[in-house]
Amino acid sequence: MIDINTLQKYSLFGGVTSEQIENIKPLLSSAHFEAGECPQIEGQPNDKIYFILSGEVDIIKQGVVIARLKEGETFGEMELLDIMPSIATVRAATPLEVVTISNRALYEISKRDLKTFSLMIMNLARDLSRRLRRMDELACRDEEQ
């Protein structure tokens, strides 16, 4: 079962009330992956954001592990927005429990409750902006060395 209090800890649901989450809860899915399984494969379609409830994943780009994400973090946001193939492979480093929200579910939220949809999209934009800033800082640091 998907716990509302747990979801409110994720930045995507910042400012979204318990009542609003309760209304969209039927549109969410949950999944389990064993260590070594890949919920997302580089170059393949992806239409979901994954919220890591427990476990860890490695983010792999062209065979190189570029990051490790853990409980409380998300992946899949880019592909959900730009509808392009997955930019990286995501491999479960440990047994993994996730909640997902699909592109189709976001569209349904936009039809049902525009305020909730708007909050979620603004939160998503903020998350992606923070990641872009971090990547800019890393790129500048690499140039200095």
State yes or no: pLDDT of 38 exceeds 70: yes
Q: Look up the CATH number of the domain holding residue 127.
A: 2.60.120.10
Q: ∠ CA 48-21-58 to the nearest 5 degrees?
A: 35
Instruction: Give tens-digit pLDDT for 58-107.
Output: 999 999 999 999 998 999 988 877 878 999 999 999 999 999 999 999 99
| Residue 83, domain member (yes or no) | yes
Q: Residue 91: inside a domain, yes or no?
A: yes
Give the predicted TM-score (pTM) of the model.
0.86
For residues 142 and 103, give the distance between their C-alpha atoms in angstroms, rounded to a whole number. 35
In contact, 67 and 58? CB cutoff 8 Å = yes
pLDDT of residue 136: 85
What are the residues facing 58 on neighbouring strands?
A: 68, 91
pLDDT at 83: 79
In the three-class reduction of DSSP (H, G, I as helix; E, B as strand; rest coil), residue 11 is classed as helix
Reply yes or no on whether the pLDDT at 141 is more than 90: no
**Number of domains the chain contains:** 1
Give the Cα separation of 108 and 138 in Å (integer): 37
Residue 42 lies in a domain: yes
69 belongs to a structural domain? yes
CA-based nearest residue to 33, from 49, 13, 53, 47 = 53
Examine residue 101 and state whether it is found in any structural domain, yes or no: yes
Domain assignment present for residue 130? The answer is yes
12 is in which domain, residue-wise?
4-137
The CA distance from 51 to 30, in Å, is 9
Q: Is residue 142 part of a domain?
A: no
Q: Which of 13, 37, 35 minimizes the C-alpha distance to 25? A: 13
Q: Which three-class secondary structure state does DSSP give residue 135?
A: helix
**pLDDT at residue 7, as a whole number:** 87
Residue 22 lies in a domain: yes
